Structure formats: C-alpha cells, structure tokens
Amino acid sequence: MGDVSEDRATISVMEEHHGLLSKAIGDEKIARESRIYSYEKSFNGFVARLLPQEAERLSEDENVVSVFPNTIRKLHTTRSWDFLGMTKTIKRSQLERNIIVAVLDTGIYVGSPSFNDKGFGPPPAKWKGKCDTGRNFTGCNNKVIGARYYNLDNAADPDRDSISPADTDGHGTHTSSTAAGATVNGASLYGLAKGKARGGVPSARIAMYKVCWNGGCTDMDLLAAFDDAIHDRVDVISVSIGGSPRSFLDDPIAIGSFHAMKKGILTSCSAGNDGPYPGTVQNVAPWILTVAATSSDRKFETALKLGNGNTVSGISVNTFSPRKKMYPLTNGAQAANTTANNYGNVSACDYGTLSKDKVKGKIVYCLGSASQDYFIKLLGGAGTIMALDEPSDIAFTSLISATSVLAKQGIKIDRYINSTKNPQAVIFKTKTVNTTAPFLASFSSRGPQTINLNILKPDIAAPGLDILAAYSQLISITGERTDNRIAPFNIISGTSMACPHVSAAAAYVKSFHPDWSPAAIKSALMTTATPLKIKPEDAELGSGSGQINPRRAAHPGLVYDITMSSYISFLCKEGYNDTNIGKLIGGKKKHTCSSFKPAQGTDGLNYPSMHTQLNVTASRISAVFYRTVTHVGFGNSVYKAIVTSPKGLSVQVLPSTLKFNKLHQQKSFKVVVKGGPMKNGTQILSALLEWNDSRHSVKSPILLYKPIPLSG
C-alpha cells in the first residue's frame, strides 16, 4: 500500500487494513481472522489469507498499489578480499565501526570466531533494532548487534529449523562473515585454503534478519524484514535470495529495496545461479545493485592415481586423506545389483542400481555428477570418481573421498577398469592451486533481463566461486545428517557468496562518504570496476561493468546520481499509473506522473551503464542515452570522453569534454549510438565510454542485444 503516512498512529494503520479486508471479504469477523501481519514501520501493507475473488476485489481499491501471492524464494547458494585489493593494510575510515550491514538470510551462528566482539564498543547510537532469543541462540554482542527471525506463515520445520535467529543451514553465517566478519588467523576447512579470514568491512556491525527456513524464504517474511531493517537504521542491506523476476510492484525484494532507497539505504542482491543460460538474471529493479559471481585467483584440484601409475587431476573439495596406498576400483556396470528390479542407470550409479557387496571398501567410477558420493557412502564405498558431462568450475564438498574428472579422462579410467584383473586407485586430499582470474562463474545468471529491456543486469561481479568463510556449527559442512564433520569455516560457491562482497564494498565506500545516496555509491562501484581478464562473448551480459575494485570506488571522480523523482519518472515511462506512483511515494501531497519531469532517451534513467534490447525485426541500430555526472573529486578537472566501439557501430558523445571547477558540480551529456543491421548470428555489440581526467577513469559499458528470431 505504498508509504506510511508520518501522521498516522499504529492502530489506525491496522484498522485501515481491517477495513479494506472487510470490504473485500464481506464479513468483518472473517476479515479479522484472515489478516496474518501488518507492515507499518517503513511502508504500508499487510498479509492475509484470501480467496482469488477477494484478492481481485482488494486490488481494485484505490488505496492499494498491488496485490500478489506469497511465494517461496530460494537462497543463491578469504583471500577473495586480498584478490580484490582489500588487504589488511588498506586505508579505512574511522566511521566504519558505525556502519551496520543488514543481512537477510538463514540466521547466524554468533559463536563463530568471525563474530568475536573483542575491541568493539557499544552499538552505534542510531541503532534501533533488537535481538531475539530462542533455541540455540542466547543473544547478540557488540559485533552482531541485532538478530530477528520471521516465521509468519509457520514455514519453519521444527525437526530441521531452530525457531530463533540461530543458523541451522550455514548460509547466513557464511554471507555475514564474508561481508563484515572480524579477522581470524589460521582459518581453513580441514587445512584447505589456510590463511586469514576476514570480512570486507571487519570493523562494521552486523544485523541478521532470518527470513529463510529449511523450505525456503517466503515473500511475507522478506517484506517484514525489510520493514524492520529500514526502521532499525541500517546502512546497507545484503540479500542473497531470489526468485523469478516479476513486475516491480509485485516483487517483495523490489518493493522493500525501493523503500530502503528512499531512506538512503542501498540494497545489494545476488543475480541467481541459473547460468550460463541467457535471460536468467534475477533481482533486476534499477535501484538494486545486482551481483554476478566470478572466480578468485585460486581453485581446488583433487588428484587421483591409478594402479598403472597414471595420475588424473579432478575438481572437488575433498577433506579426506587416504589411509591406504591403493584401494580396489570398480565401475557401476561391474558393481551392478543384478537381483533387484530397478530402472536407474547403473553406469551413473543411480540409487538402488548397485550391490553393497560389490561396492564396500572400493572406489567406484560413475558417469555424470549427481551426488553419487551419497549413494556410495550408504553402501560402504571408499570413494567415488565422477565423470562430468561438460567442464565445471564448481568444486563441491564430498561426503566421502571423491573427485570429478572430465569425460575424456573418465573414458581412460573406465578402459583401465575393464582391461585390468585387479584395478586399483587412490584419491588424494584436495590441494589449492593458482589460476588466471577473474572469469565469470558458469552458474552465474546472465542477462538480458526480462522486466525492463533498457537496463543492463547484472550490474557488477564479485568472487563467488569456492569462498572460504565462517559456518554454523549447528550443521555439518555438507548439510547431510550422515556427515559428522562440523567446522568453523566452510568453502561454498554461488552468487550468494558474491553478493556480500559487494555489500561490504558498498559499506566501505559509505564509510568515506556517509552523505552519498545509494545511487552514487552504486555508480562509484560500477564505474571503477575491473573488466574480466577472461572474457566470453556474453561477458557484459553476465558481469555488467566488471569485477568490483573497492579501493578505486572510494574515489571515483564522477558519479551518476539518481534521485527518487528520477526513479518515479522512469516508472512512469515504463507504464506504471498515477495511482500506483502516488501510493508508492506516500505523503499528503498528491503525486501523478505529470508532476515529474518526463524521462528522456532510450532508457529514461541516469544509469551508470547503457543498454537496449533491439526488436527482432530492427533493421538499424538507433539509441540515445542522456546522462548527468556529479563531480566528487577536488579542484579543477577536465574530463575527456574516450570511446571504444566495434566496427560498424557509431558512438558519439556530446559534448566530448566536461570541465569542473567545484565539488558537486554537475554536467550533462548525451550518447548517440547508431549502426546498420547486425550481422546474422550476432546478438551482442559491446562498446565502452570512458571519462578520463588523467587521475580518474570513469567507465560505462554500452551494450546492444538483439534476440535471435524464433524459427517457424
């Protein structure tokens, strides 16, 4: 229902909700019983159980911005900071200790060494939050200053979940410590990736808002957390959760982050783990900072040795050291359970296809990579070798000794098994090796986005592959009950891991510039990002402006700022009506689209990147982008435009020189993009605009995308 009017008492908000429900349902008693929760601190709204026709009647009321069903969303499941240039000796602002990073996730394990509050003073005076207690959670400290949990629809599973802020999943502890964990010496996962673990802003405070349970994360819980976090006066909100993109006014993360933006709070969200397929990016509202996942400069390799002396390098996180020099080796076909009637693929070691007698004590070679380690462990196997269908960059933690190898290597292993009387092998413990980086993680969701065709998403990228960070000791490192390994740190991958890197980078920039708007901080991070070293054809569609460079982002030179009125003009251009716009803004004054300056250009927003999706039938390329930059450097500066563009694409910047003589001075320019038809088979044309004053390089990708026409 949009914003909360400042002159309204809490009781009147709830009574208004009851009145609306009574009108929609037609029965006051049922209406009161149907309401589950009211949002009343930072925005106006409620959750209720309704029949479809009641929801329809409610949506027709002039006081209602939108009505949408409560859906379940999913998680987008130390050295990374050194790799990003955020070394221990980096210059830090004294204000960092007053920065509060809100994390919406699975809860937190406060007993982790990453959340030790030694040396921390009391919470910042602005803090208005609280600390819930409950099962496995006795309270907060001066590092983790707040912890709440939300279970509005009783989605928690009492058998698997602690009904408290405690983390019985591990995900929330990992993301929180990545963002703002304290420095811990000698951190590792059973000796792997050993070194110092620390968050990007180790002096900052953490506030946990537990919205995810064993079954997922509901929209109603997410909105309740946003409502509280905004009211609690946090500085940055980190959300490693997503779902299918929806209209901005039907998307709880878009709605919550919009109200956060109005209060000066930037929301950073993960882009999703549905890559490498195009059009899969999530959390695409333009006021959200959408984060893709890249690699750091290390990877995990797990070698194996065959009885014939040949060695093969695979990928996994294998914490087990071999106890024998060699183990018997078999494959699915030779270990088949011939007495059972099953329909699984025995070569892939599907559940129920193998004989316990033929597996026990042996390493088993299986086609594909689908949790065969779980089945082999149940049968008493010593290990498993999995043959990947295609190359993978993700190292999964195995339940027993295991490694995944390329298909061509798998063929050689299978041939050895079938041609040897007593085949043997041994799988070694995983080792860390250096690698060229960064590259875009294969799982990281790609653009183009499907909600707004002229805003490039993801915005930016950060390490999300094989990240070591703190973990909950209320669950095993694999989450499986058959696994007895409990550890203070764990290595996991996902855009979930990339998101808190960017949340911390935003907090770092804000600690130097507490008066900057969310859009200015976002611009600073995007325009100073580092292009990927290994660039696939869809690089910008997957990584936006590139990999974050927090040190440079603290001093960007110029920023592309966006006011709330600019976002409203953008929404008007996108077709949102006057009623919805007015309710979204709130206040006594009546707002309509005619109250705002019309959005200009192809995209209608002062965005740090420039993008458009061309019509399938477009014969020529034509786009214009209007931009305004704000000078945030000191002294006189003259910036000159440098354009890099492919053959056949004209990119003209008018004017091509911008002169500044004072802080916060603004200058406007336009970028005119023209070209002939794209060649057959070409979907992406990528250019770059750089404003340079010899001290600062302010970069904006320019990306044109044309979908392939559907045949037939």
- Helix, strand, coil % in the chain, rounded to nearest 5: 25, 30, 50
Phi, psi of 209 (to 5 degrees): -120, 100
| Cβ atoms 356, 380 nearer than 8 A | yes
Helix 518-527 vs helix 252-262: crossing angle, to nearest 10 = 110
| CA end-to-end distance (rounded Å), the chain | 44
What the block records as the tokens of 317 is 């996180």
Residue 459 CB-density burial (10 A; 0-12 exposed, 13-18 middle, 19+ buried):
buried
**Pairing, β 431-434 against β 298-306:** antiparallel
Radius of gyration of the chain (CA): 27
Handedness of CA 508, 513, 518, 523 (dihedral sign): negative
Residue 124 CB-density burial (10 A; 0-12 exposed, 13-18 middle, 19+ buried):
middle
Q: Which of 252, 197, 181 shows the shortest CA–CA distance to 221?
A: 252
| Cβ atoms 511, 93 nearer than 8 A | yes
Measured between alpha carbons, how far is 277 from 700 in angstroms, rounded to an integer?
Answer: 24
Measured between alpha carbons, how far is 87 from 66 in angstroms, rounded to an integer?
Answer: 46
Give the active site residue among 17, 42, 105, 221: 105
Q: Which of 422, 415, 404 shows the shortest CA–CA distance to 304?
A: 404
Measured between alpha carbons, how far is 255 from 576 in angstroms, rounded to an integer?
Answer: 14
Enter the DSSP assignment of 439: B
Measured between alpha carbons, how far is 597 from 74 in angstroms, rounded to an integer?
Answer: 38
Active site residue 171: yes
Measured between alpha carbons, how far is 363 from 322 in angstroms, rounded to an integer?
Answer: 12
Handedness of CA 101, 99, 282, 148 (dihedral sign): positive
Active site residue 76: no
The residue type of 523 is: S
| Cβ atoms 385, 427 nearer than 8 A | yes
Give the active site residue among 93, 132, 153, 171: 171
Give the active site residue among 496, 503, 566, 700: 496
Measured between alpha carbons, how far is 140 from 145 in angstroms, rounded to an integer?
Answer: 6
Count helices and strands in the chain by DSSP H and E runs: 16, 34
Measured between alpha carbons, how far is 600 from 160 in angstroms, rounded to an integer?
Answer: 52
Measured between alpha carbons, how far is 499 from 393 in angstroms, rounded to an integer?
Answer: 19
Q: Which residues are designated catalytic?
A: 105, 171, 496
